[in-house]
Structure 1
Amino acid sequence: MNSQFASVADLDEKRTTFVRLSEHCWGYTAEGDPNTGVIITDESVLIVDTLATPVMAGRLIAEIRRLTDKPIKYVVLSHYHAVRVLGAAAYRGQGLQEIIASQGTYELIVERGAQDMQSEYERFPRLFQAFESIPGLTWPTLVFRESLTLWMGGLEVCVMHPGAGHTRGDTVVWVPSERVLFSGDLVECDAACYTGDAQLADWPATLAVIRALGADKLLPGRGPALTSPGEVARGLDYTSDFVGTLFACAREAVAAGMNLEQAMAHTRRAMDPKFAHVFIYEHCLPFDVVRAVDEASGISHPRIWTAERDKEMWHALQAKG
Structure 2
Amino acid sequence: MEMKQVSDNCFAVLNEKNRVCDANSGLINRGGGVVIDTQSDLPHARRMIEMFGRVWPAMPKRVINTHEDADHVWGNQLFDGAEIIGHRSLPEQMRKVAEPKESQKLLHGVGHLLTRLVLKTLHPGIVAAGQQLLEDYNFDNIELVPPTTLFDARYELDLNGIEVHLIHVGPCHQHGDTIIHVPKERVLFAGDVLFNQCTPMGWTGSYEKWFQCLDLIKQLNPDVIVPGHGPLCGLEGVTEMEAYLRYVRDESKKCFDAGLTSLDAAKQIEFGPYGSWRAPARLYMNVERAYREFRKEPPDAPWDTAGTFDAIYEVAKAKGIEVEY
d(CA) in 2 for partners of 1:116, 1:297: 33
Task: Name stretches of at least 5 consecutive residues in structure 1 with no aligned partner.
Answer: 1-15, 227-231
Q: Is the 8 A contact 2:172 2:205 kept in 1?
A: yes
Tell me the TM-score normalised to structure 2 length.
Answer: 0.81
Any idea what SS the aligned residue of 2:27 has? Answer: strand
Question: Is structure 2 residue 79 aligned with structure 1 residue 91?
Answer: yes
State the Cα RMSD in Å.
Answer: 2.5
d(CA) in 1 for partners of 2:44, 2:279: 20
Q: Is the 8 A contact 2:6 2:224 kept in 1?
A: yes
d(CA) in 2 for partners of 1:61, 1:114: 23
Aligned pairs for 1:1-321 within 5 A: 16-31=1-16, 32=18, 33-41=22-30, 43-92=31-80, 96-114=81-99, 118=103, 123=129, 124-126=132-134, 129-135=137-143, 137-226=144-233, 232-266=234-268, 268-269=269-270, 272-282=271-281, 284-305=282-303, 307-314=305-312, 318-321=316-319
The C-alpha deviation readout for 1:227-268, integer Å capped at 9, x for no partner, is: xxxxx22111011012111222223322222123332134x2
d(CA) in 2 for partners of 1:24, 1:245: 37
Instruction: Please report how far the alpha carbon of residue 110 of structure 1 lies from its aligned counterpart in structure 2 after TM superposition.
Output: 4.1
Q: Is the 8 A contact 1:116 1:305 kept in 2?
A: no
Tell me the TM-score normalised to structure 1 length.
Answer: 0.82
Q: Is the 8 A contact 1:39 1:47 kept in 2?
A: yes
d(CA) in 2 for partners of 1:55, 1:315: 28
Distance verdict in 2 for CA 1:88–1:117, change over 3 Å: farther
The C-alpha deviation readout for 1:124-156, integer Å capped at 9, x for no partner, is: 524862210312x23111111111111222221
Any idea what SS the aligned residue of 2:61 has? Answer: strand
d(CA) in 2 for partners of 1:97, 1:159: 17
Instruction: Please report how far the alpha carbon of residue 320 of structure 1 lies from its aligned counterpart in structure 2 after TM superposition.
Output: 4.7
For structure 1, which segment, 289-298 or 306-315, has the greater mean C-alpha deviation from structure 2 after superposition? 306-315
Q: Is the 8 A contact 1:159 1:173 kept in 2?
A: yes
For structure 1, which segment, 176-185 or 194-203, has the greater mean C-alpha deviation from structure 2 after superposition? 194-203
Instruction: Please report how far the alpha carbon of residue 63 of structure 1 lies from its aligned counterpart in structure 2 after TM superposition.
Output: 1.2
For structure 1, which segment, 106-115 or 137-146, has the greater mean C-alpha deviation from structure 2 after superposition? 106-115
Q: Is the 8 A contact 2:40 2:72 kept in 1?
A: yes
For structure 1, which segment, 235-244 or 251-260, has the greater mean C-alpha deviation from structure 2 after superposition? 251-260
Instruction: Please report how far the alpha carbon of residue 222 of structure 1 lies from its aligned counterpart in structure 2 after TM superposition.
Output: 1.7
Instruction: Please report how far the alpha carbon of residue 306 of structure 1 lies from its aligned counterpart in structure 2 after TM superposition.
Output: 5.1
Any idea what SS the aligned residue of 2:58 has? Answer: coil
Instruction: Please report how far the alpha carbon of residue 304 of structure 1 lies from its aligned counterpart in structure 2 after TM superposition.
Output: 3.0
d(CA) in 1 for partners of 2:84, 2:163: 18
Any idea what SS the aligned residue of 2:188 has? Answer: strand
d(CA) in 2 for partners of 1:65, 1:211: 32
d(CA) in 2 for partners of 1:129, 1:273: 31
The alignment of Structure 1 onto Structure 2 pairs a total of residues equal to: 292
Instruction: Please report how far the alpha carbon of residue 311 of structure 1 lies from its aligned counterpart in structure 2 after TM superposition.
Output: 5.0
Instruction: Please report how far the alpha carbon of residue 185 of structure 1 lies from its aligned counterpart in structure 2 after TM superposition.
Output: 1.5
The C-alpha deviation readout for 1:56-77, integer Å capped at 9, x for no partner, is: 1100111122222233111111
d(CA) in 1 for partners of 2:315, 2:205: 19
Q: Is the 8 A contact 2:154 2:167 kept in 1?
A: yes
Task: Name stretches of at least 5 consecutive residues in structure 2 with no aligned partner.
Answer: 108-125, 320-325
Tell which has more relative contact order, 1 or 2 (C-alpha 8 A, sep 6+): 1
d(CA) in 1 for partners of 2:170, 2:43: 32
Q: Is the 8 A contact 1:199 1:300 kept in 2?
A: no
